[in-house]
Structures are given as C-alpha cells and as structure tokens.
Amino acid sequence: MSIRKQPRQHMCQSAANRKAAPHDPIPLAANLRLLRHVHGFSQEYVCTRLNISRSAYRAMESGSRLPDVIALHTVSALYGVDIDVLLTFDIAGLLTSLSSHNVYSKNAPAAICETLSANLRRLRISRGLSQQYIAAKLFISRSAYSAYETGQRLPDLRMLTAIADLYGISPGALLERDPTAQRPQTF
C-alpha cells in the first residue's frame, strides 16, 4: 500500500481557496477594484505586492474568492486602509452618492475638500468644542486636525471614519454638502 504525500499547505491557504457566497454582503471586491483604480495600480503590480497570481487576484476583485488573512493585511497596508474599512465600508457607494450630488467631477478633490472642511468646522463649532479637544479625541495634533478644517489636507479613510464616529454621523454625511442624519453626540 502506497501512501501519497500531499504537498504542505500554508495554514491560511484554505481560507484563500474558500469561495465567497454569491450574495456576500461584504463590499470587499468592489473596494479592491476601486482602491486599485484610485491609486493607479495595475493588477500585475498588486499581485506582485501580494505574492499571488493574477487570476487569484482577479477572482478577489470579482468577489468569487476571498483573500487569506495575510493578503488582506497586505492590501490594507498597500492602500493605507484599515481592514475593517475594507470589509465593511462601501467606498464605491460613497463615491456613487457623491457623483449623484454632482460633487464628484473634474473638480472633485477641491469640492470634496471644501465640503469636508466646512462640515468639520460647522460640526465642531455647533457643539462648542475646540480643535485641541477634537484632535486629542482622535489622537492627532491640533495642527493636523486644523489642516482638515482648513482644507489643506484630506483625512485618510481610517481618520474619516474616526471623525464620523466622534460626531455620531456616517462618513458619507461628512462629505455631503448638506449633511443630514446628524444625531446628537455627547462628548
């Protein structure tokens, strides 16, 4: 009786081979496609960084395959986005919402920056809070927060989500011209 040796598999490989459910509510596939396009990366470049085949990455972008933990962590670092945001935040939906409000256009970066900075300032002042207080809550310097309010700098998705959580609104509401659904927040 001959026993065939199976090749050793990496412990995360079984998760990588797991197929995503057809109606998977995780917006990961759409987020992967969007972030790759926003950063101007080719699939080949991302595959090289993840150390996977192009067909494997294509399957992740189509939603027919879920990445293993190592690939998910690498994607998170590559795009500077928290894993939670990759898995739960509908980035494509946010941009679609912005485009339907004619905010996302050729002047999108300026319009988004202007809208965000105005909303941050309005929310902070309406609650009687200082920039120093908000910065301390976000674990950043006052000057970094001030740069968000003055439109000199845009927060990354992790910071945008943290700011939205602080004010008790959705990240998308921070980017809308007339933010609604602002529920009162106690600091």
Give tens-digit pLDDT for 118-147. 999 999 999 999 999 999 999 999 999 998
pLDDT digits (tens, 9 = 90+) for 8-22: 343 333 333 334 334
Question: Domain containing 142 — which CATH number?
Answer: 1.10.260.40
Do the Cβ atoms of 75 and 67 come closer than 8 Å? yes
d(CA 119, CA 166): 13
With a threshold of 0.95, does the pTM exceed it? no
Q: Is the residue at 5 inside a domain? A: no
User: CA of 144: how far to CAs of 12, 111, 153, 166, in Å?
Assistant: 38, 20, 8, 16
Q: Is the residue at 8 inside a domain? A: no
Q: Is the residue at 153 inside a domain? A: yes
d(CA 46, CA 41): 7
Last residue of a domain, one of 89, 116, 136: 89
Do the Cβ atoms of 179 and 187 come closer than 8 Å? no
- Residue 104 belongs to domain spanning: 98-174
pLDDT digits (tens, 9 = 90+) for 6-59: 443 433 333 333 343 343 446 888 889 888 988 889 999 999 999 999 999 999
